[in-house]
Amino acid sequence: MSDKKSILIINQSAPYASSKARESLDVALTCAIFEMPVSLLFMGDGVLQLLKGQQPEALQTKKHEAMLTALPMYDIDCLYVTSSDLKLHGLHSEDLAVPVNIVEQKQIASLIQQHDTVLTF
Amino acid sequence: MMTLHLLNKSPQSMSLYSNMLASLSDNDSILLIEDGAYGVLDAHCKIFKDLPDAVGLFVLKADAEARGLSERVSALFEVIDDNQFVELTCQNEKVVSWY
């Protein structure tokens, strides 16, 4: 067990239109560098961050998908998505760029309880 | 294990509200601040009326007053001032901001 505070980052925004998705990963990586246990939960439009096949070259921004696939290098392995939010967008786990834990909506409250700090983006 | 949920957008932000409601535990509290205060209007109360009784519902006085809501606060909500906001923050183990 780590004596560092665990952090749950809740992502509710799609990538690219705003900087929220990028900022949430910046926070996640920063916390991970300081060896804080980090979990990411994707809700609502946040699920769209995980879509496979992003090609943002014309927008001249960094590829969000590439940042997500780098998370395991920072020991961030706990990614959560609710099945209802996947269904909301008609997506399945094979549409996602990274492996995620698919949870039921009623498990979100316990995810919040299990972590010391919760941030939303 | 109680959490205080802060909401600062009007109920027009449907997905924010549904994400927050999906994250609630039974003994949590919800405090409406800034434009979130519009949630006290009766027209929006259906969002809150089916929550478990143990969920505390609050609105920040200054934000409700500023928006002309003082006389329009649904009976579901308790109006609290800044000092009570601080107390509420201390009573809960953690705070989650939905914005």
* A21-54 pLDDT per residue, tens: 999 999 999 999 999 999 999 999 999 999 999 9
- pLDDT at position A84 is 94
The chain A residue lying nearest B97, using CA atoms, is A120
Distance (Å) from the alpha carbon of B21 to chain A's nearest alpha carbon = 10
Instruction: Measure CB to CB from residue A45 to each of B15, B25, B96 and give the nearest one.
Output: B15
| Cβ contact B18–A44 (<8 Å) | yes
pLDDT at A2 over 70: no
Q: What percent of chain A has pLDDT over 90?
A: 89
SS3 letters across A48-114: HHHECCCCHHHHCCCCHHHHHHCHHHHCCCEEEEEHHHHHHCCCCHHHECCCCEEECHHHHHHHHHH
Domain A7-120 CATH assignment equals 3.10.20.30: no
Segments making up each domain of chain B, as ranges: 3-98
CA dihedral A83, A10, A25, A35 (to 10 degrees): -110
Q: Do B96 and A45 touch (CB under 8 A)?
A: no
Res. A55: pLDDT tops 80: yes
The domain B3-98 belongs to what CATH superfamily? DsrEFH-like (3.40.1260.10)
Q: Is the ipTM of this complex over 0.85?
A: no
Task: Provide the phi-psi class of B54: left if phi over 0, else alpha when psi is between -120 and 50, else beta.
Answer: alpha
Judge whether A119 and A8 are in contact, CB under 8 Å.
yes
By Cβ distance, the residue of B1, B15, B16 closest to A113 is B1
| Backbone phi and psi for residue A102, each to the nearest 5 degrees, phi listed first | -90, 120
For residue range B14-65, list pLDDT tens digits in order. Answer: 999 999 999 999 999 999 999 999 899 988 888 999 999 999 999 999 999 9
CA distance linking residue B51 with residue B48, whole number of Å? 6
Rounded to the nearest 5°, which phi and psi values hold at A104?
-85, 155
DSSP string, B37-98: GGGGSGGGTHHHHTS-TTSEEEEEHHHHHHTT-GGG--TT-EEE-HHHHHHHHHHSSEEEEE
| Domain range annotation of chain A | 7-120
Whole-structure pTM value: 0.87
Asked whether residue A1 carries a pLDDT value surpassing 70, the answer given is no
